[in-house]
Structure 1
Amino acid sequence: MTKMNAVLGCAVAAVLAGSAAWAGSRYGYPVFIDLTQKKAYGTLGAARNSTDATQFISCDVHAYKDGTKNMSCSAKNTSGTSVYCTSTVAGLVDSARGISGDSFVYFEWDSSGACTYLGIGHSSEYAPKQL
């Protein structure tokens, strides 16, 4: 009976280890802001799921009846530092439209507050928002 329990225990351990390996890697990137290099990034899920009520990261797209469009990105980290940029560059506006609820967002800005870069990532590794 002892041998049977040992074999059964090994089988259960193998199944559990195997299912953990299949779960895949998971990363949450809290909001990071670098004022010197003028960049900010983070995952929407990590910001939303954080225990603080301070951090956020977002990008918005605005369209007007005359056909013009612009976008803006903003972020605030856990220490309360916040940044904001905006742009009418078509490529940046299009990129901002690609953000989903669980995206990784990375943006840069210049000294005038104009967005100069927007990178959006989608990955199974990014933790989704919890409701």
Structure 2
Amino acid sequence: MKIKSILVVFLGTLMSGSVLAGLTQPAEVTIDTENRLATGDMNTARRSDNEFAFIGCGVRVISVSETEVINFGFCQAGIGEAEEERITCFTQNAQLLDGIKSIADYSYVTFSWDENGDCTRIGNSTQSFYLPKVKVKKK
């Protein structure tokens, strides 16, 4: 009976065959209104216990006539329901729009804004430690 129990435990261990691997570096969303800076990674925001946490950027391209197209971008972050716990900045600067377009799934996002709500800096980092922790099969 003892050998049978040991065998069951051993086989169960072999069959589970998955572990968590790799470094993760979660970055919770933060908003510094004094220095006009928001930071955080999208994966951590999405999986946060804080139901109001979010961060990200987007681009809009709108045809206003046959010859005129408006391009603009925005970045936004939030940590609560109140207006002072959320920020959105806007830009039509081509280089900042390129920065927004380079943001990928699971990116760490950072942006700054001026007193008019215009984005002044947009940065991102897409590295393996911002990806969600996943189970991998043992070899």
Residue in structure 2 matched with residue 82 of structure 1 by the alignment:
86
Runs of 4+ in 1 over 2 A off after TM superposition: 127-130
Residue in structure 2 matched with residue 110 of structure 1 by the alignment:
114
**RMSD value over aligned CA atoms?**
2.1
TM-score normalised over the length of structure 1: 0.77
Residue in structure 2 matched with residue 55 of structure 1 by the alignment:
53
TM-score normalised over the length of structure 2: 0.72
Larger radius of gyration: 2
Q: Within 1, Cα distance between the matches of 2:50 and 2:86?
A: 15
Q: Within 2, Cα distance between the matches of 1:52 and 1:31?
A: 10
Shift of 1:128: 2.8
Residue in structure 2 matched with residue 71 of structure 1 by the alignment:
73
Residue in structure 2 matched with residue 96 of structure 1 by the alignment:
100
Q: Within 2, Cα distance between the matches of 1:26 and 1:129?
A: 7
Distance 1:77 1:103, change over 3 A: same
Q: Within 2, Cα distance between the matches of 1:69 and 1:98?
A: 16
Q: Within 2, Cα distance between the matches of 1:36 and 1:72?
A: 20
The CA deviation string for residues 51-98 of structure 1, in whole angstroms up to 9 with x for no partner, is: 221110121101011222110011001575111100000011111111
Q: Within 2, Cα distance between the matches of 1:98 and 1:25?
A: 23
Flag structure 2 segments of 5+ consecutive residues without an equivalent: 1-18, 135-139
Checking the alignment, whether the CA contact within 8 Å between 1:24 and 1:125 is kept in structure 2 is yes
> How many equivalent pairs are there?
110
Which structure: greater strand fraction? 2
Question: Which stretch shows the higher mean deviation, 48-57 or 102-111?
Answer: 48-57
Distance 1:59 1:128, change over 3 A: same
- What amino acid is the match of 1:125? F
Q: Within 1, Cα distance between the matches of 2:91 and 2:133?
A: 27
